[in-house]
Structure 1
Amino acid sequence: LLTHLTQHPDVPLSDIGYSLASSRAVLGHRAVVVGGGRGELLRGVRALAEGRPDAGVVRGRAGDGGVVFVFPGQGSQWVGMAVELLGSSPVFAARMAECERALSGFVEWSLSDVLSDEVALGRVDVVQPVLWAVMVSLAEVWRSFGVVPAAVVGHSQGEIAAAVVAGALSLEDGARVVVLRSRAVLALSGKGGMASVQLPVGEVRGLVAVLDGRVEVAAVNGPSSVVVAGTPEALGEAIAEARGRGARARRVEVDYASHSVQVEGIRDELHAVLGGLEPVAAGVPFYSTVTGERLETAGLDAEYWYRNLRSTVRLEDTVTGLVESGHRVFVEISPHPVLTAAVQETAEVVGREVVVTGTLRRGEGGPERLLLSLGEAYVHGVPVDWAEWFAGGGARRVDLPTYAFQHHHYW
């Protein structure tokens, strides 16, 4: 293929890519080369031919198992996230416009305007609805390439996006939950905080501040990834004690204590503003990080969304169940991966080999990163409709060199 590309410089690369994707047998060992121009693509093909790693190349071996869409909570945001996709992906732009219309009945700001507004993204009542819209829209992009989830799982507020993508909540009800709930959280601002501690949950529960109830376990993300919540002073003590044990511990950039007793102060308000939701049975299995198992989504009422904010996030338990039931590909649907390491570590403890990939990354919010993420899923066996990428570009099939089969001489 490299020789062919070198000897036929006049053949459009879009024709080459389309032909490779649509006219070749799909074998077990696979690779995808992504680049912004001919030079980058040739470099990637050359690296592949020579067995060298390259930033524009993903390779792997296909396996079986359904795809799980993973939606994180707050923390994956960055200023300018997804702006490139608004201008390069009609599917993403259209779904974002639908989200903006759904949000408009509850907010006074513009979704497209605040994507690049650092001050606005610092407010919980803005960043949570924005992340919800971005995640719902990124899921639509994956679906446009034929990647349909066999299950969805969400972390904290990520469950709202998961519920919409699964079909349990309408877009309007999803917007209502994420806006009104994040607005209610404003009453907790300044009273608490959260911290990430890299210790097993058993050891975290042994910290003094946790033992006396001033700090609570807010989320168990993985075998050695726990988030705690409590008063600022008690969090400082917990962080110091964890570091004294040789563990990494740091504050999370929020000034409220989700998944702690402080949330009980807004329970009545949440019931009042979220009454009248109309959840339905989802078309896609919804795995709850509140219960740690698959949940019938007709029960995603106001009380559930209060519990989602008050209860410990049981991501490790939920992922363990998914892995043990045969799911082997996890795709984090977010502007930056924050849960991939925890999911990978959980699978390793279970003793199962899984593939975990993200969608976009901080500072990499355009089509190249999206294609690399799609490629990562594809090389590990996830069906991807690559024709979607070439649609409307006039790409056509052209002759390519045949596969180089291995020859075994009879004598």
Structure 2
Amino acid sequence: MKKVLMIYPYFSTGIKKDQLFPPLGIAMLSGVLKGMGIEVMKLDCTFLDIDEAVKRAAEFDAQITGIYVMTTLSENALNILKRLRGKRPDSIYIAGGPLPTLYPQRFAEKFDYVFRGEATIAFTKFCSDYMASFEKTGFMEAMDPEEYPGIFSGSGLESEPVHLEKIEIDSCPIPDRSGFDHEKYQKVSFESTGRKSASIMMTYGCPFSCDFCSKPIFGSCVRFRSLDRVFEEIYDIISYGYDSLWIADDLFTYDMGFLKMFCKRLIREDIGISWSCLSRVDSVTGDIAALMKMAGCKKVYLGIESGSDEVLRLMNKKITPKDVISGVDTFKNSGLECSGFFIVGYPGETVQTIEKTFEFALSLGLDEISFNVPYPLPGSKLYERVSGISDEDWTFENETRFLYESEFDENWLSKRIRQTMEEFERVKMTL
């Protein structure tokens, strides 16, 4: 028996989401494991309940079970782990993802092993070697941790997070998207946007150090995938019935050379697929924005965050409101839709700077805006400064709710966000 189970422990709460995609992480691992001749089950819990998820997991009876853990999924992950251990105690249980990368000791107390960082190569090699061994206990006792970078356990195995080189990234097959409920994902996407979107990643890492950002998996070094691999994946995505891409890179527009080559190849191959991406406001010229439009880009999502110079400095955004105005104009003049993300109630700002951000958001002529309170991600500088965070707080979705002790009143802030959104919709109606 050579079976690996990988679990993505997100359960849809019914709250409307603009972006809901099959999980890329376990799809990437599955592609590598299948190439090694290992039977894989990708258990995406999105459209299941926990009882059905545990039932399917137990019936698969895997030798190794990997569970993806990020901040908002930690409670689900630990609940599934507890229930599965009771049903399948002989399986090896492994945690991966952002939270185990940041706090390996915490998860090593509950899981057999943790893999830190980009585990695509190390985790899959561990699975292959373990299953090839005749004596499982002997394998564990004699295991050389240097063979599996990023591995961590409570019994003394310690390591730093792993970040793959470009050549290692390109050596991996494209993500295995088979078996996901594509019909349901496409239905959710189409109802929200009028397009059937799937996610894809083309670059890894971000060189900037925003105060509120945490990047434990991909780190600060930017690496670019081979465009041949990228386009192989795009054609695979299309084969499942998708007609649009959400480019999930932290900073897709970071390198103008890579962006230009991607756009020109899309135009040349005439794939006919639309796409959207994240971008900084200060990274794209008018010529490049026009090329993005020609290549099928529909919308860019901009991390604007604030209309106050002072607050932007607190956030270490390395932009100014003037940069924002110029960047939004650049994209909109090229016919691209612009969505702006804003953060209000940041530690160190005032009611006056919050109101300035509301006013600024309404003045930019954006096609879409959203406001959130600061979200102190573990690993961020913001997380280190605030206090009063409770682990169970992470499970809330789409609420104006502080996870730490803030000087701002949540009710007042919720009211002002609602009023600003209503004003935004009124302004849009007159355009």
TM-score, normalised to structure 1, is 0.27
More contact order relative to length (CA 8 Å, sep ≥ 6): 1
